Amino acid sequence: MFIQTETTTDPARLRFLPGREVLADGASLDLKDRQQAAISPLAEQLFAISGVIRVSLGRDSIVVTREGEDWQHLKPAILGAIMEHFMSGAPMLRKSGGVHPSESRAAEGETAVGHVREALRRVIDPELGYNIVDLGLIYDVTIEDGGVTTVTMTTTTPGCPATNYLKTGAGEAAITVEGVEFVDVKLTYEPRWTPEMMTPEAKAHFGIRDGGGW
């Protein structure tokens, strides 16, 4: 097994690419301490390494944040933990993790959903040049106990060449919201998207009248 590494804009963060799927397409998980890491056997192993203070799991990458130690000393231990995990066949996530429910969940959840939708506005459909929320591509956002977030979305057409780009972008945008710990982006074509699903602002931008087409 060969694991590649990539630097990031933050010298304290290093990306590890195991050449295998880490989380299902569109999903991402940001773990900030050992308690949260209980949801993932691999994350637990990484947090057990002195100097590791944060672990982020993506579709095909593992981003580790360090404190104090330099990468020369940390990399061998991290590479060993990642290789051991994949060779063992252990699941990436446990069915029930150690993330505890937040207090005042109803009020906080409602606010968090709004924050997630705002974050999703940063994702721009490359073909239309407009954000996926106002285009009507986001069908639903739900946040459950422990910050487990599900984004249900579509694309303007089935087989859209930007599908993976949009799903990945949605996951990466949602995970930046405070309180969101895990994101699952689900793709659906029921119902099929139409321009009528756009917000009034988006329709005005594209010169579409209510009840009209392109």
pLDDT tens, residue by residue, 159-170:
999 999 999 999
- Cα distance between residue 181 and residue 146, in whole Å: 7
Question: Considering its fold, how many domains does the chain have in total?
Answer: 2
Q: What tokens were used for 84? A: 């051991």
The CATH number covering residue 125 comes to 3.30.300.130
* Residue 95: inside a domain: no
> How far from the centroid of its chain's Cα atoms is residue 47's Cα?
20
Q: What tokens were used for 106? A: 């109803």
For 113, residues 6+ apart whose C-beta sits below 8 A from its C-beta are 141, 142, 143
Report which residue type is found at 159.
G
- Cα distance between residue 123 and residue 130, in whole Å: 8
Asked which of 50-64, 83-97, 126-140 is least confident by mean pLDDT, the reply is: 83-97
Residue-wise pLDDT for 18-77, tens only, equals 998 898 766 778 888 888 888 889 999 999 999 999 999 988 899 999 997 789 889 999
Q: Is the same domain home to 81 and 141?
A: no
Q: Is the same domain home to 135 and 194?
A: yes
From residue 96, give the alpha-carbon distance in Å to each of 83, 91, 207.
Answer: 23, 12, 48
Predicted local confidence at residue 101, as pLDDT:
33
Residue 191: domain span: 105-206
Four-CA torsion 40, 41, 44, 48, nearest 10 degrees:
-160
Q: Is the same domain home to 26 and 67?
A: yes
Burial class (CB in 10 A: 0-12, 13-18, 19+), 77: middle
The CATH number covering residue 56 comes to 3.30.1370.70
Largest CA distance in the chain: 63
Q: What is the pTM of this model?
A: 0.52
Q: Is the same domain home to 40 and 13?
A: yes
Predicted local confidence at residue 26, as pLDDT:
63
